[in-house]
Every structure is written in C-alpha cells, then in structure tokens.
Amino acid sequence: MTAIALWSVRTKRFSSILWVGLMLIAGSIGFIGQMGLHQLHLAVEQQAISWLSNGNSQETDFLKKQTNIGSLGLLKQSNEIIFRVAPEAKQIPPRLLREATYNRYNSSLWLALNPNFVPVQPKINATTWDLGDQLPNPSTITISAILQGKQGLLKLPDGTFKIDALPVSQMEKNKYGTIKVVGKVDMLAYRSYFNNNFSVDSPPTEDDLQIPKSEMAALNKILSQMAIQGKSPPEILDKIEWFFLKNFVYSLKLRGKDNDATPLSTFLLDTRSGHCEYFATAATLLLRKLGIPARYAVGYSVHEFSSLENQYIVRSRHAHAWTLAYIAGKWQAFDATPSDWESMEDAAAPRGAFISDLWSLLSYKILLGLRYLSASNGLKYGGVILLALIFFRRCNPNFKKTVRLLSKKQRWLKAIYNKDSLSPKSKFYLIEQALNESGLIRHPSESLKNWIERLKKEKPELYCLEELALLIEIHYCDRFDPKGIEDAQKAEFKLAIQSWIEQYRRQAIASNSQVNKSGKSPIAFLR
C-alpha cells in the first residue's frame, strides 16, 4: 500500500523497473528485520526466565539433577543451538550423547552418590586423552561446543574410549561415566572414538536397586497391569517401552502436585502425561523393582541435520533424559519416552528460526577463526604488525608513497616468480614444459621437489621420474649457487635433459604396463 501511494510521486530520473526493485528490496529488509525483532524478543524472554530461576539450564551439575517432576506450568525450552555434531564420512551419529548419570532418587531430585572422580592423564601432545584401551574399528564423531567458564561436563556417546583434539588442562572421570574438564579455551571441537563393547561406568551396586518407599505402591500397581513376571531382561525392556507407548502421552505441560500422592505416582496412575524426566524416572524405578540395576542419565538427543551447515545441530530444547539398564554384564541405554517427542518439539519450534540459526552459524565460524588465529599466534603477531603500521604511519609522512612502492615491488617479485619456472636461463624448463603439456601441472606454490614427489605418487608407472632428483639438484646449483656450474657441465646437463625428455615421451606413448627394456639411465654419465 505504501508503494502504491508513492508511485505517483516517484522521481522520473530513474526507470520504473529500478524503482520497483528498490521497493521490493526495502520491503524484504523490513520483513527480515521484523522477524529478527521477534527472535530478539523470544531470546530476551528466555534469558529473563533463566535469570529469575537463578541458573542456566545448559549447565549440568554432576552431583545432583533437580527435575521438573511435580512442577506447575509449561516447560519452556530455548531454540538456541548449543553444540554441533559432525559424524565421520556422512555416517549417522549416535542418537544420544550423555552428559551426566545419577543413581539415587528422592522427591523429584536425582543424586550421584560418591562419584569418586579420578584424574585422566593426557598423551604427550596434551590434546589426546585415553579413557580405556584402544579398540578396533571405532566410530568417530566431532563435537563442537562452548565450554562455559572454561570448565564443565563433556557430551559424549556411550562407549567412548578416546578423546582427541581436546586442548584442556585437566580431565577427570567418575564411576558413572561423567567426564569433567577444565579448559584452556572456550571453543572446543573434539573428536570422540567409541565402541559399544567399552564402558567407563562402574559395575552396579546396591544403590542402583534403591527405590523410595513412597513410590512402591504405584510401581506395584503398574507392574501388575503389565504381566511381566518371568520375562527375560530384553523382554522386560520391550514390555515397558510398549506399555508407555500405548498408555501414556508426551507433554510439556506441568500439572503440579497432588497432595494425596507423589508427583511420580500421580503421573503413573492418574495423568499419564509428562515429559522425558517422568518417563526416565519411572522406567528406572520399574527396572529396579524387577531386580535389574538401573541409573538415570541426562544429555541430548542428536536428530536434527542442518543442510545449511552440513552437520547435525543440537538445540537447548533437545535436552533429554533416559535410563541406563545393566543387562548381560554391561550398561545399555533404554529410552522409555514415546518416540514422537522429537517431532512434537520440532513442530512447536518458533517460526523464522532460520534467522537466529544464521546468526549462530556466523558466530560459530568467527569463534573457529579466532581459535585458529590464537593457536597459530596470528592474533599476537597481527596486533604487533598493526601497531607497527600505525606507528609508521604517524612517523612517516610519505607512508602512502611507501605503500605504493612496496606494492609495485611485490607485483614485480610475483611476476619474476611466475616466470621463473619457465625461465630459459636453465634448460630444466624444457622438462617442466614437457610435463605441463601432458597435463602434469605444477601448482603455483609448489617447489620442484614437492611437485616431483607428488607426481611419483600419482604416476608410479613413470619410473623415469625417479631420475629427476639429480637434475633438480643441478638446476638449483646452476640457478642459485654464486659459482654456478662449468661450461662442460652445462653441456652435459643439456644432453641429460634432452635424453630424459625422449625417454619420458616414449613412456607416455607406451602402455602403463610397458617396461623400459634398455635398462640404461639417460643421466648415468652425470653420476
């Protein structure tokens, strides 16, 4: 409507097409700005919730986990991207990445009793950490995350036995598989090597069978409805999973407490609606009631692939809880939450999230760049160079003239370098020309030796390439040694080059399996 109103008073100096194009651009910028303000509003609201709750939901306490079981309202979670996962060779990553594990439940609170952290020593490179023995055929993923306050808990797949490219100063692990680090940098991009046959978790104890007395009645009633007696442990897991899927629904609505029963009992016997903390807690206690050791695990679900970043992204709302069951002599993940919880939360994601995702990607790339510069001392030396240029500019009134002269000199040197490889001052240029004509091009920044080494790997059938090492040495002596080589040696050098080129062309024409039957080296007399 604004464009229609302005059409009659538009300037005649520009074409109508240009005017319409500019109006469309202005409208698009306005629309994107409006969406950005909406995202800003959501971010401020989410941060206010975090401040009012005196904590950050992304920071996990390895000693205790206060759940929202029994709370009232709506469980609101942020759409913010908090870390990224890149599997090796476009493989599918593990669905669950664990952050912490707990073994004692009491009134909506999970505790880790006597975690017993022990230090982990790095390898000599200070970035490789072994949690166990090396296992064959491991799977690998790279996890890129921010280490808040330069300390925290690592997010890892079950079975991780080795962590690489992790520049932290201290690492500790406890008997529940929780890995705690103190970092040197905020931005991490570490690789996890894992195998399902390995576990850092300790064997079960009596605490892994503990059940609060207040939950006994509800658990007994649920088990009586499942007809699960006499079943094997794998069959028990299937029965529990099917029971929850058939009779319960996933919901982020928090229904509060019932004065006559515990929040978990109300969930099991009355509402039968809740989020992952309800399902994971109920499944853990049900397994314990059946004599199967179980623990409560928290972490994140990895299921959203970003085509924009070509890797998996994990948001704050992908935080998840599940059960670890000790079956057949090892701990295994058991997720009793109905499988549609991921699609339900994705459907409830705010519109226009791509704007915040773009900003998150830009911030991520900037942090990676700063990390690279910091590791290579680029920031330190860059700052010194910048200060030197500012000082030089202040002290030298002919600064611009100097810069122009340096620029001309740089172009002159570059021109000389580009011509050097084909300079007629050395007859070696004939060999380079012959190789280039065959499509064996030398890269601009590649030395002659590196070039020939690369060609020997790419073209092993050209055995004449082995004899170029001596010719290159003579070429360097002729070009760069102040004394150079004598005239007689130059004549021999020229003959050797011509002989090598003839041999090379015969090999290039012949089939790859043909062998030079003469056995005579064209540069034997130079040795």
131, two tokens: 């949690």
Tens digit of each residue's pLDDT (9 = 90 or more) over 198-246: 888 999 999 999 999 999 999 999 999 988 888 899 999 999 999 999 9
Distance CA 84, CA 143 (A): 6
8 Å CB contact between 201 and 324 = yes
Give me the mean pLDDT over the 314-340 stretch. 92
- The three-state secondary structure class of 315 is strand
Distance CA 336, CA 268 (A): 13
| 356, pLDDT greater than 80 | no
**Residue 205 CB neighbours (<10 A):** 13
> Is the model more confident about 380 or about 6?
6
| The most confident of 11-20, 85-94, 322-331, by mean pLDDT | 322-331
pLDDT reported for residue 322: 96
> Is the model more confident about 176 or about 308?
176
pLDDT reported for residue 240: 94
Distances (CA, A) of 135 to 191, 201, 202, 310, 411: 15, 17, 19, 29, 54
pLDDT reported for residue 527: 42
> Is the model more confident about 147 or about 425?
147
Q: Where does the pLDDT of residue 516 fall: very low under 50, low under 70, confident under 90, or very high at 90 and above?
A: very low
| 488, pLDDT greater than 90 | no
Distances (CA, A) of 92 to 81, 137, 145, 156, 411: 19, 16, 19, 15, 49
Give me the mean pLDDT over the 475-480 stretch. 78
Lowest mean pLDDT across 323-337, 392-406, 423-437: 392-406
| 521, pLDDT greater than 50 | no
Distance CA 384, CA 299 (A): 43
Lowest mean pLDDT across 126-130, 140-144, 194-198, 501-505: 501-505
pLDDT reported for residue 52: 45
Distances (CA, A) of 132 to 103, 152, 197, 231: 23, 21, 11, 34
| 423, pLDDT greater than 60 | no
Name residue 69's amino acid. Answer: I
> Is the model more confident about 350 or about 108?
108
- The three-state secondary structure class of 309 is coil
pLDDT reported for residue 121: 93
| 50, pLDDT greater than 70 | no
| 98, pLDDT greater than 90 | yes
pLDDT above 70 coverage of the chain, percent: 78
8 Å CB contact between 352 and 38 = yes
The distance between the two most distant Cα atoms of the chain, rounded to a whole number of Å, is: 108
Mean pLDDT of the chain: 80
- The three-state secondary structure class of 79 is coil
φ, ψ dihedrals at 495, nearest 5°: -65, -40
Give me the mean pLDDT over the 460-476 stretch. 79
pLDDT reported for residue 371: 64
Lowest mean pLDDT across 216-225, 259-268, 279-288, 311-320: 259-268
pLDDT reported for residue 54: 39
**Residue 390 CB neighbours (<10 A):** 10
